[in-house]
């Protein structure tokens, strides 16, 4: 089978010198690939000109809707992917993480995009800042999609999930993708892209795939482009140092080697739930996906007094692992993704053996079920123990990307911290303890070295996604050698493909650009109460100024009795006066909110269906009997939903001196007009 690239809108057969890709299970040929002859510069230009402009015509909501339909389309065809996934050595469970985990990530981005991103083409980031005394010059940050292409270079271990977890946020951001899967498992990624393109759901130009090398693609990248790399430290360093990447300051995101640690607290000895959870987790991390997980536990850092017990318990669990053909009955761990990978892991085990002894597993002598041991890329789980971790180098530096972990005993908690940090930064570390002091010390000792820190104990074990957390968590590098800079869940990934620009100008101008009314901006008097105006008719900036209402002592007492809130600040003159914030008895904050509503509501049935909350509420000045409050109510922003629209109102309560006594956003659900409903059909 020839594995094709999808370039400039068409499938291109490999030509020139072809590389053969073989099954990890039996060494049988699976595909031939080569990217020779592709016009890489043309692909980048096509992505920007066609894909980028098509994507930027859509809003976040529209792009999220496409992702959702795409996810559903792929889910219906997942079996086609499983058939190929087995050839990568993956068991059904491994395949589930890769395939359904990847599709689940699309769903997760789609629903968060629909829920949390606006139906707009840009994103406002943060709050408005007042830049002048009078309030006529303000600042705002806006994120707009880069007018470039995102080049995704992926690792071999999760051909589907790795592709989709990068594609989803990039697509949502409005940026086209050129994806380059690792050659060893490119046949599965190619199949996935065939389905994605075949769905007909993606705007033209939004996705291309290179099967084979990236040729001179990096020479054609500009400052509007992004490279997102997943793989080894060495390759990442090489690519990041590419002259064109440096010259054009091309954004470069790296996710690379990680010597992840899992620490067992001194309190978590044999017999505790945390000990059992720990042993289970280390074994699971070693064998899931045959240990080819960027987040897998490589160093099991355990109290020296419990090291024998941990080794013994792990040995017992690992003895139950059945290595072999992932489709054969009873097999629990498949093959590594390629023969080259198996050989690489063997070499790394040799290095580790120079400073650690093997507790379990022999890379040469082991049983394989349902397959020829030599023809497939098999390895058994190999557990080592390094009793003198201070002298060791490889244990903290070499990542055997396979079913391999090393037990690293520690004497004091301080040592545990220093040993964990010898990994020089990682994607994730986990801590198994039920002792708050231990958790505290490990947090402050290690957090700055890790993208994620998971505390697992008896209280969360049942629902915890574990150390590796493959789903639906999105990992993008960690500090130090793991590359990148942060662990990202959700929508932060979208922002990597957008430029953040500070805008400055008048409240009216920035309000118009940011699609939200800003205080100090022009107020609109529409000639009728805004509560009488349907969602689609209501304009940003429409404002109601109410009449004043004087607050009396009777009001305060009545409110106190009625609600039961007889707090001294409202009821006891002497005690209230002694309070540093109040001149004497003051009105309840809730009274102000209630009276404000009494001043601004329009009581008759109308388009306002419900009040669903308040945001950003602040009481700024006490209100005393005799003060007269009034309210300004302004349409701040709107968000259309299917059946109704959400309106955010800026509410300001002032006193007779014009001082603001309270500020908040009121949130209502409003009906559309009949005309608009008819137009929607």
Q: Which residues contact 72 (CB under 8 A, 6 or more apart)?
A: none
| In the complex, minimum distance from the CB of residue 449 to ligand NAP, in angstroms, rounded to a whole number | 14
**Interior CA angle at 464 toward 461 and 466, to 5°?**
95
Is 231 near ligand NAP (CB under 6 A)? yes
Is 150 near ligand NAP (CB under 6 A)? no
Q: Which residues contact 311 (CB under 8 A, 6 or more apart)?
A: 359, 383, 385, 407
With CB under 6 A as the contact rule, which of the stretches 35-43, 74-82, 151-159, 522-530 interacts with ligand NAP? 151-159
Is 157 near ligand NAP (CB under 6 A)? yes
Torsion of CA 515, 519, 524, 529, to 10 degrees: 100
Is 153 near ligand NAP (CB under 6 A)? yes
| In the complex, minimum distance from the CB of residue 93 to ligand NAP, in angstroms, rounded to a whole number | 18
With CB under 6 A as the contact rule, which of the stretches 228-236, 362-370, 390-398, 583-591 interacts with ligand NAP? 228-236
The residue among 228 and 655 lying less far from ligand NAP, judged by its C-beta, is: 228
| In the complex, minimum distance from the CB of residue 378 to ligand NAP, in angstroms, rounded to a whole number | 18
Tell which residue, 498, 44, 9, has the closest CA to residue 205.
9
Alpha-carbon distance of 306 to 496, in angstroms, equals 44
DSSP string, 584-623: SS---HHHHHHHHHHHH---SS-SEEEEEEEEEEEE-S--
Catalytic residue at 460? Answer: no
Is 673 near ligand NAP (CB under 6 A)? no
Tell which residue, 224, 250, 286, 278, has the closest CA to residue 56.
224
Chain residue at closest Cβ approach to ligand NAP: 231
Q: Which helix (H) or strand (E) holds 141?
A: strand 138-145
Alpha-carbon distance of 291 to 403, in angstroms, equals 4
Tell which residue, 480, 477, 412, 490, has the closest CA to residue 448.
480
| In the complex, minimum distance from the CB of residue 215 to ligand NAP, in angstroms, rounded to a whole number | 9
Binding flags for ligand NAP, 322-361, as an x/- string (CB under 6 A): ----------------------------------------
**Interior CA angle at 497 toward 493 and 503, to 5°?**
110
Neighbours of 564 (CB within 10 A): 6
Alpha-carbon distance of 205 to 416, in angstroms, equals 50
The residue among 182 and 587 lying less far from ligand NAP, judged by its C-beta, is: 182
Is 187 near ligand NAP (CB under 6 A)? no
**Which of 88, 114, 214, 655: binder of ligand NAP (CB under 6 A)?**
214
**Which of 232, 499, 506, 579: binder of ligand NAP (CB under 6 A)?**
232
The interface with ligand NAP within residues 410-439 (CB under 6 A) comprises 427
DSSP string, 520-575: TSPPB--SS-GGGS-TTT--TTBEEEPPPEE--HHHHHHHHHHH----HHHH-HHH
Helices (H) and strands (E) counted in the chain, each on its own, are 23, 25
| In the complex, minimum distance from the CB of residue 298 to ligand NAP, in angstroms, rounded to a whole number | 10
Alpha-carbon distance of 591 to 594, in angstroms, equals 5
Catalytic residue at 129? Answer: no
| In the complex, minimum distance from the CB of residue 209 to ligand NAP, in angstroms, rounded to a whole number | 12
Is 257 near ligand NAP (CB under 6 A)? yes
Q: Which helix (H) or strand (E) holds 649?
A: strand 645-654
| In the complex, minimum distance from the CB of residue 184 to ligand NAP, in angstroms, rounded to a whole number | 6
Catalytic residue among 165, 190, 255, 281: 255
**Which of 5, 230, 516, 668: binder of ligand NAP (CB under 6 A)?**
230
**Which of 110, 239, 431, 551: binder of ligand NAP (CB under 6 A)?**
239
- Number of residues lying near ligand NAP (CB under 6 A): 27
The residue among 228 and 652 lying less far from ligand NAP, judged by its C-beta, is: 228
Is 156 near ligand NAP (CB under 6 A)? yes
Binding flags for ligand NAP, 445-484, as an x/- string (CB under 6 A): ------------------------------x-x----x--
| In the complex, minimum distance from the CB of residue 231 to ligand NAP, in angstroms, rounded to a whole number | 2
| In the complex, minimum distance from the CB of residue 130 to ligand NAP, in angstroms, rounded to a whole number | 41
**Which of 56, 63, 220, 256: binder of ligand NAP (CB under 6 A)?**
256
Q: Which residues contact 277 (CB under 8 A, 6 or more apart)?
A: 432, 456, 457, 458, 461
**Strand ranges for 355-495 from DSSP E:** 357-360, 382-385, 404-410, 426-432, 450-456
Contact in structure between 337 and 292 (CB atoms under 8 Å):
yes
The residue among 152 and 570 lying less far from ligand NAP, judged by its C-beta, is: 152
Alpha-carbon distance of 252 to 115, in angstroms, equals 29
Is 255 near ligand NAP (CB under 6 A)? yes
* 646 phi/psi in degrees, rounded to 5: -100, 130
Residue 323 pairs with which residues in a beta bridge? 333
With CB under 6 A as the contact rule, which of the stretches 98-106, 177-185, 561-569, 576-584 interacts with ligand NAP? 177-185
Is 30 near ligand NAP (CB under 6 A)? no
Contact in structure between 460 and 240 (CB atoms under 8 Å):
no
Catalytic residue among 33, 190, 285, 294: 294
Is 401 near ligand NAP (CB under 6 A)? yes
| In the complex, minimum distance from the CB of residue 473 to ligand NAP, in angstroms, rounded to a whole number | 11
Is 182 near ligand NAP (CB under 6 A)? yes
Contact in structure between 254 and 240 (CB atoms under 8 Å):
yes
Which residues contact ligand NAP by CB under 6 A?
153-157, 180, 182-184, 213-214, 230-232, 235, 239, 255-258, 294, 399, 401, 427, 475, 477, 482
| Active site members | 255, 294
């Amino acid at each position: 089978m020839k594995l094709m690239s999808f370039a400039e809108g068409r499938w291109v057969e490999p030509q020139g010198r072809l590389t053969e890709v073989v099954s990890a299970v039996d060494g049988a040929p699976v595909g031939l690939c080569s990217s020779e002859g592709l016009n890489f510069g043309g692909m980048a230009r096509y992505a920007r000109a066609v894909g980028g402009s098509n994507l930027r015509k859509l809003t976040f909501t529209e792009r999220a809707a496409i992702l959702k339909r795409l996810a559903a389309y792929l889910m219906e065809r997942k079996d086609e992917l499983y058939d190929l996934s087995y050839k990568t050595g993956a068991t059904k469970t491994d395949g589930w993480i890769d395939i359904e985990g990847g599709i689940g990530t699309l769903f997760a981005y789609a629903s968060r995009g629909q829920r949390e991103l606006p139906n707009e083409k840009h994103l406002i980031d943060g709050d408005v800042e007042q830049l002048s005394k009078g309030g006529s010059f303000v600042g705002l940050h806006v994120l707009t999609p880069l007018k470039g292409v995102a080049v995704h270079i992926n690792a071999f271990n999760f051909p589907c999930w790795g592709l989709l977890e990068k594609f989803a946020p990039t697509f949502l951001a409005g940026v086209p993708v050129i994806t380059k899967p690792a050659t060893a498992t490119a046949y599965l990624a190619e199949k996935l892209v065939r389905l994605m393109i075949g769905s007909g759901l993606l705007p033209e130009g939004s996705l291309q795939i290179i099967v084979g090398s990236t040729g001179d693609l990096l020479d054609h990248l500009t400052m509007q482009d992004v490279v997102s790399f997943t793989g080894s430290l060495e390759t990442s360093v090489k690519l990041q140092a590419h002259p064109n990447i440096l010259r054009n300051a091309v954004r470069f995101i790296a996710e690379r080697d990680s010597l992840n640690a899992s620490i067992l607290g001194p309190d978590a000895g044999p017999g505790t739930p945390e000990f059992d959870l720990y042993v289970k987790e280390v074994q699971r991390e070693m064998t899931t996906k045959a240990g080819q997980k960027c987040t897998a536990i490589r160093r099991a850092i355990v109290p020296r007094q419990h090291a024998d017990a941990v080794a013994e318990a792990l040995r017992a669990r690992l003895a139950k692992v059945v290595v072999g053909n992932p489709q054969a009955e009873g097999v629990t761990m498949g093959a590594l993704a390629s023969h080259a990978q198996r050989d690489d892991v063997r070499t790394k085990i040799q290095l580790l053996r120079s400073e650690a002894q093997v507790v379990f597993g022999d890379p040469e002598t082991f049983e394989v079920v349902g397959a020829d041991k030599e023809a497939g890329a098999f390895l058994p789980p190999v557990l080592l123990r390094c009793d003198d971790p201070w002298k060791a180098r490889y244990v903290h530096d070499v990542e055997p990307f396979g079913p391999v972990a090393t037990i690293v005993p520690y004497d004091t908690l301080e040592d545990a911290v220093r040993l964990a940090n010898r990994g020089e930064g990682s994607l994730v570390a986990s801590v198994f303890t039920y002792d708050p002091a231990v958790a505290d010390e490990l947090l402050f000792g290690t957090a700055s070295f890790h993208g994620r820190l998971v505390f697992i104990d008896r209280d969360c074990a049942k629902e915890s996604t574990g150390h590796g957390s493959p789903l639906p968590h999105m990992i993008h590098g960690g500090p130090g050698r793991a590359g990148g800079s942060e662990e990202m869940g959700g929508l932060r990934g979208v922002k990597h493909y957008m430029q953040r620009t500070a805008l400055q100008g008048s409240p009216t101008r920035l309000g118009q650009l940011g699609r939200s009314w800003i205080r100090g901006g022009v107020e609109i008097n529409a000639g009728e109460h805004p509560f009488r105006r349907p969602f689609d008719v209501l304009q940003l900036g429409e404002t109601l100024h109410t009449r004043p209402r004087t607050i009396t002592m009777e009001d305060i007492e009545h409110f106190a009795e009625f609600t039961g809130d007889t707090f001294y600040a409202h009821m006891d003159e002497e005690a209230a006066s002694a309070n540093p914030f109040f001149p004497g008895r003051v009105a309840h904050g809730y009274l102000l909110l209630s009276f404000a509503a009494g001043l601004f509501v329009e009581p008759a049935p109308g388009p306002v269906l419900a009040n669903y909350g308040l945001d950003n509420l602040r009481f700024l000045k006490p209100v005393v009997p005799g003060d007269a409050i009034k309210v300004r109510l302004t349409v701040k922003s709107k968000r259309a939903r299917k059946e109704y629209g959400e309106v955010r109102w800026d509410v300001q309560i002032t006193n007779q001196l014009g001082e603001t006594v309270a500020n908040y956003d009121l949130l209502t659900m409003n009906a559309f007009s009949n005309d608009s409903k008819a137009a929607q059909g």
